[in-house]
Amino acid sequence: MTNPKETTKDPICGMIVDEATALPADRDGTKFYFCSEDCRQKFLATPADAKPGKQSGEGEGTALFG
C-alpha cells in the first residue's frame, strides 16, 4: 500500500501543489512549497513579518500567505 501524495497550497498564488515536486523555501522553521520559481521568488522577496492576506492593490484570488 502506498501513501497518498502530500499536497499543500502555494502561499502566493493559491495553487495546490505536490510537496514531492514543488519548489520549497524555509522561513522561521516552516517549509513552504511553490508551483513555480516566480512564486518562490515573490515569497522570498516578501518581508518575513508581512501579514497574511491580500497585498494592497492585488486582485481577487491573490493568496499571499492565505
Domain residue limits, the chain: 7-45
**pLDDT of res. 11:** 96
Q: How many CB atoms are closer than 10 A to CB 28?
A: 6
Write down the residue that cell numbers 511553490 correspond to.
34
**pLDDT of res. 50:** 76
| Averages of pLDDT over each 10 residues, the chain, 66 residues | 80 97 96 98 90 50 57
Q: What is the pTM of this model?
A: 0.71
Compute the distance between CA of residue 41 and CA of residue 21 in angstroms, rounded to an integer.
17
**pLDDT of res. 60:** 45
Give, for 34, the enclosing helix (H) or strand (E): strand 30-34
**pLDDT of res. 53:** 55
Q: How many CB atoms are closer than 10 A to CB 27?
A: 13
